[in-house]
Structure 1
Amino acid sequence: MWLEGYQALLGWRAEHGFSGGHSNASDDDPGENTGRSEAWWQARCLCSTACMSSALASLMAVAGTLLGSFLTFLFQRMTVDRAEAFAWRRLTREERMAAYSGFAEAVVAYRRAQYDPFHRRAEGQDSPALVNALTESYHRRMLAQQALFRVQLVTDDADLVLHAETALEATRLMAEAMDRPSLESSTNRAKQALSAFILAAGDQLRT
């Protein structure tokens, strides 16, 4: 488009005898000089408009390219963010599942270890069998406590943590049973408390 304006300007110069110098005829005839000036300005304006249009088109093309690049980057960033969020949720779920199942297993082992001291007390407080049974019970309690710490580290669910603490405490209270009925009663409470924890943990993992 700018080329058309430039050609029009060259055509006007050729038509009116402008080849690089001044025309004497134009100096002799003011009217003709005025007509030439108007035509020259019209051709010059046409050339300027064409140049501006060409520059504007180039500017719009550059702006379109930049906008396209920005949108491409934005979409790629959103895709990466979604992938990272999905990976984080998956990793968190796996860590929680491992911690919750590990705690349940530790509590079950601790509960089983609580039976032996009750039966060994009949052999005397100083019997090696009772000492070994109490040692094993304390060891299992320590492992269950460590498993509780892992549960507390992987979740901010206060209710779930409370269920875990209740299950561990109910299992500890089995050691206070003085006879078989009280042992069975405390055992049932420990089982119910652990079941409540497992149900709460399952609900969290499924959401």
Structure 2
Amino acid sequence: MSAVLGGLIAVLGTLLGSFSTYLFQQRTAMRTEAVTHGERLRQERLAAYSEFAGAVTELKRAVVAAWLRRSDPAELNQARIEADRLGALAETARFRLRLVSGQPEPLADAAFAHMDALRGAADQAELKIREAEFEAAVSAFITAAAERLVAPRRAAL
């Protein structure tokens, strides 16, 4: 009888140990999956933020080039075509940014909105001012984006 009781205690101990190991492994796997998902999302956001900043900066370059070529109709037309193409790419990057971030991006919208001010500059002095305002808007966007990308990592630690 005592041999049966000893065997039963050994089996129950083994089952309890196996079950607790299973629970710990499951919890560890879930935590690892959550961290991996969070890092993947952070990488997608980083790519979207970078893509938008690059696209809107290229658009600014094209808009300024068109503005500088406004005295030559042939060159102006080519520059506008390029600016329109880059404008579509910047708009697409802005849409992707909004999808990936899952929230409104007012700083991205503000940077994008500076294109009209650049196009409408009356002279080179005003163009320089509008370019500086654009650069400040993009810098504010990048600073906010960096804070969003770093904050989840700190929370995970």
Q: TM-score normalised to the size of structure 2?
A: 0.86
The residue correspondences of 1:58-69 to structure 2 (distance < 5 A) are: 58-69=7-18
Report the counterpart of residue 200 of structure 1 in structure 2.
Answer: 144
Q: How far has the Cα of 1:83 moved from its partner?
A: 1.8
The residue correspondences of 1:10-29 to structure 2 (distance < 5 A) are: none
The aligned length equals 151
- Residue identity matched to 1:90: E
C-alpha separation between the residues in 2 aligned to 1:83 and 1:119?
54
C-alpha separation between the residues in 2 aligned to 1:97 and 1:203?
11
After superposition, the C-alpha distances for 1:106-157 in whole angstroms (9 at most, x for unaligned) are 111111111122222223xxx2211111111111111111111121122135
**Is the aligned partner of 1:169 residue 2:118?**
no
Identity %: 38
C-alpha separation between the residues in 2 aligned to 1:172 and 1:112?
13
Secondary structure of the equivalent of 2:70? helix
- Residue identity matched to 2:98: Q
Report the counterpart of residue 138 of structure 1 in structure 2.
Answer: 84
Q: How far has the Cα of 1:94 moved from its partner?
A: 1.6
C-alpha separation between the residues in 2 aligned to 1:133 and 1:178?
18
**Is the aligned partner of 1:148 residue 2:94?**
yes
Q: How far has the Cα of 1:88 moved from its partner?
A: 1.4
Larger Rg, first or second structure (1 or 2) = 1
Match of 2:56 among 107, 114, 117: 107
C-alpha separation between the residues in 1 aligned to 2:53 and 2:89?
11
C-alpha separation between the residues in 2 aligned to 1:104 and 1:119?
23
C-alpha separation between the residues in 1 aligned to 2:109 and 2:39?
26
Q: TM-score normalised to the size of structure 1?
A: 0.66
C-alpha separation between the residues in 2 aligned to 1:136 and 1:83?
46
Runs of at least 5 residues in structure 2 that lack an aligned partner in the other structure: 152-157
- Residue identity matched to 1:142: A
Secondary structure of the equivalent of 2:102? coil
Q: How far has the Cα of 1:69 moved from its partner?
A: 1.2
Match of 2:33 among 74, 84, 99: 84
Which gives a bigger RCO, structure 1 or 2 (Cα 8 Å, sep 6+)? 2
Which range is displaced more, 76-85 or 136-145?
76-85
Runs of at least 5 residues in structure 1 that lack an aligned partner in the other structure: 1-50
After superposition, the C-alpha distances for 1:51-100 in whole angstroms (9 at most, x for unaligned) are 4x555444433322221111010111112112212221221222111111
Is the Cα contact below 8 Å between 1:171 and 1:187 reproduced in 2?
no
Q: Alpha carbon RMSD of aligned pairs, Å?
A: 1.8
Is the Cα contact below 8 Å between 1:164 and 1:197 reproduced in 2?
yes
